[in-house]
Amino acid sequence: MRKQQINRSMQNKQRKRRQLFFSILLICLLLVLIFGVVQIFTPQTFSNATEKTQKKMIKKQQSTTKLAESPKKEERFIPTETIVQNQEIDQYLQQIGFNGTAMVVREGKVIIDKGYGLANREQQVENRTDTGYYIGSAQKAFIATAILQLEEAGKLNIDDPISQYLPDFPNGQNIKLRHLLTHTSGIVGHTEGQGAITPEELVRDIEKQGIKRQPGKWNYLDSNYTVLAYLVEKISDTKLSDYIQTHIFDPCGMKGAGFYQTFTDQKYPSTGYYVAKDGSYGTPSLPDLSQLYGVGNMYMRAIDMYLFDKGIAERKLINEESYQKMFTKGSNSGYGFGFYVDPGSYNNHGILNGWNASNSFSHSGKTFVVLLSNVQNNIASFGKVNNEIYQLLNKADA
């Protein structure tokens, strides 16, 4: 019996030792586990983990922002690059002594984009593709565009009488805005002076000069578009240059276009010349260009004129209804609103003392020809040059 008691006592002690051993082992394991968790979530480690997470989030946000901010790829040309894809047109322009910048585009492809002759003869500076030129009366197409835009916005109607906006205008009940747009108003108009003048003073003088006939007969006259330019300001309650910048230049991407006040601020402005009878070049005097408000005090590069014509042709600046109005002949002269409507193309032309401009595009909108020159009279007819370029293009396509 005594022996059995001793055996049981020994077994109990061994069992207790084992239990103690396993208890100590379990406590050690728990301590190791707790230590590991504490290490993982110490402030430094947690900070590192947070920093990594933040970096990943920032990188993702930057990637998303970059995608969101990436502008759509737009058609654009590098204005300093000279392009000659048609040797015959290039040789023709050189042969006739063209002095300026020519840009020809057909079906979205630049055929010619090149400067010819000198922008400044005294300093021997060559004309470039990004040389700036005054465009003279070609500005009228921009005023016509603005008037049509205001009509689309419901702010006027081209068949409104001018007296609706200018109560003191002579024969104002019978003269419609349409008559001003087509040069069939019958007004006498302002005689260009030399000194500075405000738009209000110009319009008052036009009103004072009265009329010479009832509306309906063609008589090309700057004053028609001076009045229209004034209406753009009056009706939009915006300075004309600001309106044109916001509603025409900016939508078309015309980055080198502006008004006379900033002409010399351009990187490559041209100097205007005329050719004397003895063949020498002279620099003509200019009036204060406030006298040509809305009708001849705007400048641009050849690419800017192309972008304007393209904006019209693609109905980007005006809608289809306005487009049809612009290119409907208003008289037997063939003049619509700012453009002449010819059988195969729409043409615009402008002259300022020392500068000559011509721009046109085909009825299909596939061909554009821009000729900007800083010599007023070294070529007899820009219209003839324009037609010859179309013929050479057609020859190349045949």
Bridge pairing between strands 133-134 and 281-282: unpaired
DSSP 8-state code for residue 360: E
Least confident of 74-88, 167-181, 345-359, 377-391: 74-88
Mean pLDDT of the chain: 87
Closest CA to 192 of 226, 141, 155: 226
**How many angstroms separate the first and last alpha carbons of the chain?**
130
* Residues with Cβ within 8 Å of residue 248, at least 6 apart in sequence: 142, 145, 146, 254, 308, 311, 317
**pLDDT score at 280:** 95
Compute the distance between CA of residue 347 and CA of residue 358 in angstroms, rounded to an integer. 7
- Give whole-number Cα distances, 41 to 32, 34, 53, 179, in Å: 15, 11, 15, 83
Is pLDDT above 90 for 201? yes
Compute the distance between CA of residue 200 and CA of residue 334 in angstroms, rounded to an integer. 31
**pLDDT score at 378:** 87
Provide the Cα torsion 154, 160, 162, 163; round to 10°: -100
CB atoms within 10 A of CB 191: 9
Of all residues in the chain, the percent with pLDDT exceeding 90 is 77
Q: Which residue has the higher pLDDT, 222 or 64?
A: 222
Structure confidence by residue, pLDDT tens digits, 379-393: 889 999 999 999 999
**pLDDT score at 20:** 56
Compute the distance between CA of residue 168 and CA of residue 51 in angstroms, rounded to an integer. 74
pTM: 0.81
> pLDDT band at residue 13, thresholds of 50, 70 and 90?
low
SS3 375: strand
**pLDDT score at 316:** 98
Least confident of 56-60, 179-183, 203-207: 56-60
Is pLDDT above 70 for 14? no
Judged on CB neighbours under 10 Å (0-12, 13-18, 19+), 334 is middle
Residue 33: in which H helix or E strand, if any? helix 2-40
Q: Are 231 and 198 in contact (CB under 8 A)?
A: no
**pLDDT score at 235:** 98
Least confident of 5-9, 17-21, 129-133, 257-261: 5-9
Longest dimension (CA), the chain: 152
Mean pLDDT of 141-153: 98
Compute the distance between CA of residue 369 and CA of residue 104 in angstroms, rounded to an integer. 5
Least confident of 16-20, 311-315, 350-354: 16-20
Is pLDDT above 70 for 320? yes
Least confident of 75-89, 217-231, 300-314, 363-377: 75-89
Structure confidence by residue, pLDDT tens digits, 266-289: 999 999 999 999 999 999 999 999
